[in-house]
Amino acid sequence: MSADIEFIPVEDATKLATGILLGLGLSAGHAEAIARSVVTAQRDECYSHGLWRLLGFVPTTRKGKVSLNAVPEVDASAPGVVKVDARYGYSLLAFREGLLHLVEKANTLGIAAMAINNCYHFSALWPEVEDIASAGLVSLVMTPSHSWVAPAGGKKPVFGTNPLAFGWPRPGPNPFVFDFATSAAARGEIELHRRAGKTIPLGWGIDSDGNDTTDPTEALKGAMLTFGGHKGSALSAMIELMAGPLIADMTSAESMAFDDGAGVTPCHGELIIALDPKVFLGGAMAENMQRAEKMFDAITGQGARLPSQRRYEARARNRELGVPVQKSLLVELRETLAS
């Protein structure tokens, strides 16, 4: 383990995060929901959406665009659809407020969707699919961001980094989960490379003239690239449509225009789809879920790993050790808390 890392108890990390957020004027509900997300990400060693994100809250909250005390408005009147208007606050509290309605509808109908509208969104999606999996449901979650990513074959940004997450409940505490940006890497990962003075791999971005670059600053100014060429590009377009026009919210390009140069966290919608295997399978549930387990065994049985396995291993390790935080980041966070 690097000498640059300090381990702090989850309670201390949560207190630090909550203290910073309350100090910036966020309401208790938002501060708790955000602190849980960034501390969980840091604990699981998903650093691009961990405690580092708190530093970005300082300029974002001072721009006056985000509502710091927005009370999400839940409309659960349609049979299979929950609509949550985040009212220009952060997305995480809106997700928490709508979740029980989503689960209840999926339990009744077999499938239900939740649209979160008008939310500022900065977080990883896997904590949300894990929450849904812990209710025994399969889920798909997606959201746009800001138009930073060029479509395959083009050089000008159109798409957001548009993450897609999937969760499948399994026996035991760890569901099958994947969660990835449809860009070659999350923008947060490129920003972390820039902070660390590291180059980025070829294929992550191009400079403003459309040339390949390994310089994170140039890629952030130019355009990011999709993962898997045309395949990531098509998935990214799907996310723009499903979590944009389909739910009457902004595409990444519209969200960027709405930002109007402020440079704050993207504001847009999020779509969450939940399916209840019990309703699909009835009495054949155990047998079919067991068939899924056979597929997982066929993957791990040959030495390949499941997505989230690294994360679950980090979680298990850090249960003993605490939350790993880069010492320089800890100094910055403590200064932010004190300021």
Q: Which residues are catalytic?
A: 48-49, 189
Shortest reach from residue 64's CB to ligand NDP, in Å: 21
SS3 category, 117: strand
- Scanning 56-64, 185-193, 207-215, 318-326 for contacts with ligand PYC by CB under 6 A, the matching segment is 185-193
- 50 forms part of the interface with ligand PYC (CB under 6 A): no
- x/- binding map, residues 264-283, to ligand PYC, per CB under 6 A? --x-----------------
One residue of 185, 200, 237, 333 binding ligand NDP per CB under 6 A: 185
- x/- binding map, residues 53-92, to ligand PYC, per CB under 6 A? ----------------------------------------
Distance from C-alpha of 170 to C-alpha of 172, rounded to nearest angstrom: 6
Query: What single letter denotes the amino acid at residue 169?
Result: P
Name the nearest CA neighbour of 24 among 63, 79, 51, 80: 63
Q: Cα 157 to the chain's mean position, in Å?
A: 20
Shortest reach from residue 164's CB to ligand NDP, in Å: 8
Task: Give the torsion through C-alpha atoms of 309, 310, 314, 315, to 10 deg.
Answer: -30
The alpha carbon dihedral of 287, 307, 40, 256 has a sign of negative
Taking CB under 6 A as the criterion, which residues in 126-165 touch ligand NDP?
126, 143, 145, 161, 163, 165
Query: 338: which 2 tokens?
Result: 């004190």
- 186 forms part of the interface with ligand NDP (CB under 6 A): yes
With CB under 5 to 8 Å by kind, the binding choice for 308 among ligand PYC, ligand NDP, none is ligand NDP
With CB under 5 to 8 Å by kind, the binding choice for 217 among ligand NDP, ligand PYC, none is none
Furthest CA-CA distance within the chain: 59
Distance from C-alpha of 186 to C-alpha of 184, rounded to nearest angstrom: 7
Shortest reach from residue 59's CB to ligand PYC, in Å: 15
The H-or-E segment that residue 69 falls in is none
The alpha carbon dihedral of 80, 84, 90, 93 has a sign of negative
One residue of 14, 18, 42, 48 binding ligand PYC per CB under 6 A: 48
- x/- binding map, residues 63-102, to ligand NDP, per CB under 6 A? ----------------------------------------
Distance from C-alpha of 23 to C-alpha of 7, rounded to nearest angstrom: 24
Measured from the CB atom, is 145 or 147 closer to ligand PYC?
145
With CB under 5 to 8 Å by kind, the binding choice for 310 among ligand PYC, ligand NDP, none is ligand NDP
One residue of 178, 195, 278, 332 binding ligand NDP per CB under 6 A: 178
The alpha carbon dihedral of 52, 32, 11, 313 has a sign of negative
Measured from the CB atom, is 26 or 177 closer to ligand NDP?
177
- 174 forms part of the interface with ligand NDP (CB under 6 A): no
Strand partners, 8: 323
Measured from the CB atom, is 126 or 168 closer to ligand PYC?
126
Rg (CA), the chain: 20
Name the nearest CA neighbour of 189 among 296, 21, 47, 55: 47
All residues at 6 or more sequence positions from 301 whose CB lies less than 8 Å from its CB, including other chains:
none
Q: Which chain residues interact with ligand NDP by CB under 6 A?
A: 46, 48-49, 121-126, 143, 145, 161, 163, 165, 178-181, 185-186, 189, 305, 307-311
